[in-house]
Amino acid sequence: MTTYSPGRDLRWLLLRPWVLVARLVEVLWQLGSLAVVLVIQGSSPKPEVQKRLAQKILATLTGLGPCFIKVGQSLSTRPDLVRRDWLEQLTQLQDNLPPFSHAIALATIEQELGGPADQLFEHFPGHPVAAASLGQVYKAQLADGHWVAVKVQRPNLPYLLRRDLVIIRLLAVAAAPVLPLNLGFGLGDIIDEFGRSLFAEIDYRQEADNAERFATLFCHHPEVTVPRVERLLSAERVLTTTWINGTKLQERQVLESRQLDPSALIRTGVIAGLQQLLEFGYFHADPHPGNLFALPGKTGDLGHVAYVDFGMMDSISDSDRLTLTGAVVHLINRDFRALANDFVGLGFLNPKTDLEPIVPALEEVLGGAIGENVGAFNFKAITDRFSELMYAYPFRVPARFALIIRAVVSQEGLALRLDPNFKIVQVAYPYVAKRLLAGDTAEMREKLLEVLFDGDGRLQIERLENLLAVVESEGPSTDLLPVAGAGLRLLLGPGGRSLRQRLLLTLVQDDRLNTDDLRSLASLLGRTFSPRKIAGTMFNRLNPLAAA
């Protein structure tokens, strides 16, 4: 069976004690041996010692198989968590693993597609170009001359995944009480979510559906490329897609040597990730460097990026999307009471939890991480402090957020790899601010009203000023005209009815005419969209020497 069920799989392994005991001893021995070596030699300043340690980590994870390789892949995207002299080895877990037998791959192709590879393809090579945790990829040619990527699954994967997931779950649940994070019973749920995603990943028919859905979502975004699925040459254990000629998003020097702009590529990756989470509600949960390629060309200030490998995908509900959008705004506006309510809405806190002691704790932990500058924020900055908060207060990680967290952390890790000074919120907050100010959907208009007006219906000018300042702060190339145009269309159009009503209500508060807020609003808009500023912005866009 190619589905994951923790209870059924546990019973399956318990009925095979010889398998359970042998594998448990092997896992404990390998991980224990690695831990001892790391404790003894991990602090050594000698480069050759650290290189040997990195090679041992790589060998241990590779030897333990697909589940553990997936863990290593996640670590390979985190230069802020893992020593840089170890990362070079860990990145090999993405697509540079030992291949399995070519004869087995050919037999799988014939079994799945109904014919031998040399008859189905004009040219089929004698060895793969890459081997990853769950399969290996061949670069083949079709009869019409087009080159394709043919991914063939490793043998016996359902058995290996089922066995190791049961053992990982047993060890994790047993260790949960002594972990520094107060995850409680949620740790088992998170592993279950990981297990379900892994089993979904080994059905290549589902991956083909995922790729086509992802391509549809980005069909109007030229900066994002998705390979086309060759349906007649794909099945449960074989997937054929168009070949992507690109450069892996791995090393800044390599990208620059090929005249590719790392900053523009980072920007595309982060904005595409935000679109998946906050607009589409459907996201790529495994954006490590082996699954993202840089392509030539730019669209505005966005580089061109190609996604591959759509096995690990997930969806996010509409309510969670809207709450996450609001949480970003509440975080940057330092509205920690609203942020605490966001945590309740997302399931990180029980609805019956007393928020009074939690609000100041959030302000202490997250407020200090953000500082006065939005750009000072990154996920590593709060992770160290947030662990203390989760231990002291009744936080838990909902299982449905396991892949979301993985996707965001992987995305930030990939960006940090290319630019150690990268701050994800420097891109995320302007993106959210622009969507709010445009009010292009009903949910964004609702959230904009929540941001702009307080509980008494008064206009919060400082919040609007903050939003406009963030959009403007993106740099001299930012054009304020689209923002002004979108805001004007919202205010005058049918979608701005609620906004107009709220603005009018500010005029008649407390049974008297009150124009202070509207005067402040007019003053703010006059400063932000002054003719001089707009003219300067247009000049910068039209004059490449000024932009340089």
Q: Which residues are catalytic?
A: 286
First to last CA, the chain: 59
Question: Are 175 and 183 a contacting pair, CB within 8 Å?
Answer: no
Task: Tell me the residue type at 187.
Answer: L
Tokens of 40: 């003894």
User: Which DSSP category does 512 fall into?
Assistant: S
Cα distance between residue 432 and residue 467, in whole Å = 9
Cα distance between residue 81 and residue 72, in whole Å = 12
The number of beta carbons lying within 10 Å of the beta carbon of residue 101 is 9
Cα distance between residue 190 and residue 70, in whole Å = 14
Sign for the CA dihedral angle at 403, 308, 378, 416 comes to positive
Task: Tell me the residue type at 159.
Answer: Y
Q: At what angle do helices 424-438 and 480-492 cross, to 10 degrees?
A: 30
Tokens of 398: 């909902």
* DSSP output for 222-250: TTEE-PPB-GGG--SSEEEEEPP--EETT
Question: Are 274 and 224 a contacting pair, CB within 8 Å?
Answer: no
Cα distance between residue 432 and residue 325, in whole Å = 7
* DSSP output for 72-116: HHHHTT-TTTS-HHHHHHHTHHHHBSPP--HHHHHHHHHHHHSS-
Half-sphere exposure of 186 (CA within 13 A, CB side): 19
* Phi, psi values for residue 135, rounded to 5°: -170, 180
Closest to 400 in 3D by CA, of 292, 485, 324: 324
Q: Is 61 helix (H, G, I), strand (E, B) or coil?
A: helix
362-365 CB contacts, 8 Å cutoff, 24+ apart: 362/336, 362/389, 363/334, 363/336, 365/389
Cα distance between residue 349 and residue 253, in whole Å = 43
User: Which DSSP category does 509 fall into?
Assistant: G
